[in-house]
Structure 1
């Protein structure tokens, strides 16, 4: 079969969905990947894996209706020309416009993944309320055009059902995107306690809480390291460089920018920290778990699924800087605790989040096996 994978972020396609696309190909299917970035930058990299890459004109965080119309037209023309047998779409705009474009081209095999509800959907304020209302209408249409809508946590699924966007019999649940256990293997913990945050530098990821907690921790334990990996972003809640720079200048944070391979940085940390306000299931947490790291994350949708509190890490309240600081200090004070929690993380990753298990679930949902 010909399968189209739609995303509004090319890097996410390449780094987070490659294992899935490879498994599709192993089963004898043809894969076409559509993302936001130019073909000259990515086509050869996808081609190495026998995947045809096409650029999709999409403004991931924009609200310009003319640009969105252009995105829809591009997808409609693609569907009409290529006539894919099945479509796997994730991220808001490609889910919405991709599923509707498919329906108008009589393509019924559309599988939409809701990998977390963003800041607009869970936020407050008058402008946010207007955008949220529009998004609900769009998501309701997308769900009607999809054969199955896949969620990564129960909170997001219940949110859609309670808002009347979808009926339960049209939903499916998977345990995140999974983690490649051949690539992410346990490594020895560093001799000194160290913390790491990996993610886009947006405030909904809990970046400010992490920075402030690190400032408090470093004041008491100057030997502890606090690492930060991730790109600046165009999201409305994005952190500005002038907001981060004081933490770098004061030595609170070691900032390494965006990295194509995060394993060397996970190896440098003893604990992975992600105090996000909401997620689908955070892939960075799964990667850190697979490498045997203790986890501190928030008791929030998508995050809470990855941690059994006090077993492989700690759950803290959303936006609770003091609670986050206390848990970081607790792990600093006990090397044995860091080791034991790291071992539990690796075990959970093997048993629950192996990418082969997740991809098999996706292929069963899509009727590919």
Structure 2
């Protein structure tokens, strides 16, 4: 049985979907993976080939709404599917979901699945540009998802939004899974460092709450100058990306320690005492799960995708979106109570084991798709 996984960017195949690929192979599937510019990432290619995956580079611009480019993506995916003739296709992130689902229907792939990992820029605000993009994305989702057999969501808010907006006609076509899951054997508990330290790992986008984090860090620094405030990530090609000049100004202020883009986030998490993600909306934030698995208290927003990861007062705190003042207060509350931070970290690890273990998440997806271990 041939299984085609369509990704929006190459590195996600190994960073986020590696365990899923391994589970598919273990169940007897011949796994094919397609992503834009895949052959330009030799490390990713080497890891996939070592697992026995067959790789395919496809034409796709991860961002942007150029209709000619997107038509080219649709045709490229259609030709690929006609060539390899998979029995099942799963696309994840916006364009693989939309154009992968349409191409799979046109190519008469027997079983078609989609994984909505988050709603992205268009659904995270109410500006004129976002409203227009949301209308376009809504219509494209309506058409594409009509031809899928099941749609996986990573939180119930996104699923409910798709049903309420009429993108999906009924909730019985949907399955909510606990994010992408986390390998709890790789992300293991680590002792807290002596000095209080906050950490945010994210693409440097306004919607990730990066500006609120920087503002809150400055407020906390005024009272607790011994605290460390670290930021890891990179400037992404997106409409609300942080400008290089703005990032440079934060670094020059001396409050924020910028770590850049990390291949392995575990040392940075181990060097922190509290993980912070002030995002406006997520599918399920992978970095929060990583921090929980490593026994770190979490401060995140009461927003779709984020709120599911934290039980307030148990493994962390929830704050309103776009409120640097509320975020700073939550950070101050935890700085003042190290015992609570330690207890929250232990509870976060327990929740990661019980709810977000990647093996449990993948088994739910495979069972839904009618794939069973040998």
**Same fold per superposition (TM over 0.5):** yes
More divergent stretch after superposition (285-294 vs 330-339): 330-339
Aligned partner of 2:7 in structure 1 is 7
**2:124, 2:280 within 8 Å by CA — same for their partners in 1?**
no
More divergent stretch after superposition (212-221 vs 311-320): 212-221
**2:213, 2:324 within 8 Å by CA — same for their partners in 1?**
yes
Match of 2:214 among 197, 208, 211: 211
Aligned partner of 1:254 in structure 2 is 257
Give per-residue Cα distances to partners, 1:163-204, cap 9 Å, x unaligned: 111111111111111000110000010101100001111111
User: CA shift at 1:122, angstroms?
Assistant: 3.5
Alignment partners' CA distance in 2, 1:193 and 1:343: 17
Alignment partners' CA distance in 2, 1:41 and 1:279: 26
Is residue 126 of structure 1 aligned with residue 128 of structure 2?
A: yes
Alignment partners' CA distance in 2, 1:353 and 1:14: 18
- What is the SS of the residue equivalent to 1:161? helix
Match of 1:229 among 220, 229, 232: 232
Alignment partners' CA distance in 1, 2:208 and 2:71: 29
User: CA shift at 1:48, angstroms?
Assistant: 1.6
Aligned partner of 2:71 in structure 1 is 69
More divergent stretch after superposition (43-52 vs 264-273): 43-52
Aligned partner of 1:364 in structure 2 is 367
Alignment partners' CA distance in 2, 1:127 and 1:246: 27
Is residue 180 of structure 1 aligned with residue 183 of structure 2?
A: yes
Alignment partners' CA distance in 1, 2:13 and 2:135: 28
**2:274, 2:298 within 8 Å by CA — same for their partners in 1?**
yes
**1:108, 1:146 within 8 Å by CA — same for their partners in 2?**
no
More divergent stretch after superposition (343-352 vs 27-36): 27-36
Report the aligned-residue RMSD.
1.0
**2:204, 2:236 within 8 Å by CA — same for their partners in 1?**
yes
Give per-residue Cα distances to partners, 1:286-339, cap 9 Å, x unaligned: 000000000000000000000000110000000111110011111111110110
Alignment partners' CA distance in 1, 2:126 and 2:17: 31
User: CA shift at 1:40, angstroms?
Assistant: 4.1
Aligned partner of 2:109 in structure 1 is 107
Alignment partners' CA distance in 2, 1:108 and 1:128: 35
Alignment partners' CA distance in 1, 2:81 and 2:6: 11
Give per-residue Cα distances to partners, 1:52-81, cap 9 Å, x unaligned: 221121111111111111111110100110
Aligned partner of 1:297 in structure 2 is 300
Pairing of 1:36-115 with structure 2 (within 5 A): 36-42=36-42, 43-115=45-117
- What is the SS of the residue equivalent to 1:63? coil
Alignment partners' CA distance in 2, 1:108 and 1:278: 33
* Gap runs ≥5 in structure 1: none
TM-score by length of 2: 0.97
